[in-house]
Amino acid sequence: MTRKDIFHQIQQKKSYLCIGLDTDINKIPKHLLKYEDPVYEFNRQIIEATHDLCIGYKPNIAFYEARGTAGWASLEKTLACIPAEQFTIADAKRGDIGNTSRLYAKAFFETMNFDAVTVAPYMGEDSVKPFLEFDEKWVILLGLTSNKGSNDFQFTPQENGQPLYEKVMRRAMEWGSPEQLMFVIGATHPKKFQEIRSIAPDNFYLVPGVGAQGGDLQGLSQYGLNKLGGLFVNSSRGIIYASDGEDFAEQARASALRLQQQMAGILDL
């Protein structure tokens, strides 16, 4: 999927919403436990209720890996029921020596046919480049994350005074083009978006932290959007766990619709 393909979806749906499928079998509505695969059934109903309001889905791979082969089966069935025009992100945060990264890339891009995978940059260029060797597939590199621990390393000044996250982003832009490379930029740092857009003006950003983590959609959109949209704003718990009752899919839609309507208003400005 190209940047223009993604932008076409943004224009059609007036949305840059990505829904995170962080599906915990211990948190889904109890009535679903009667199904052979409760996690898949939960995901299926969420997807059916929200697919016209979002441009992508982001399964957090840990929630599936933790359940072993049953979890992988749930994930494969979930992917099969996501409409073809949706952008799919494996939130796996992989990154290892080259040969291992190549196999991770093969797993997510070929075996499971995700459009993108999140990648940790700590091990440097040779751990990231194998992911960039697949046509119309995307690396979403951790840039400035939304968690509290982002303060531990990501703001550490480097030789010229630039913070570490900026050094990571600038170096990574030498490895891949804006047609291959996105960055994770947390919504809990809204004041940084103007500065970050000056570093990477053309890249898409995956933005976690809106919803349950309290990120400011208006603030980050003001500086984060670019001429091709440029944002995947992710909400997970705030949508998928909007209700723990039999109306969970309806309430998920209502929560997603509120965000989509906010986004439509911002895009129409």
Tell me the catalytic residues.
Answer: 93
Separation between Cα atoms, residue 220 and residue 194, nearest integer Å = 8
Would you state the structure tokens that stand for residue 90, as one six-digit string? 């494996």
Q: Report the distance separating Cα 72 and Cα 14, nearest Å.
A: 32
Q: For 10, which DSSP code? A: H
204 Cβ neighbours under 8 A, 6+ residues apart? 3, 6, 178, 182, 183, 228, 229, 230, 231, 232
**Pairing, β 205-207 against β 56-59:** unpaired
Compute the distance between CA of residue 31 and CA of residue 102 in angstroms, rounded to an integer: 41
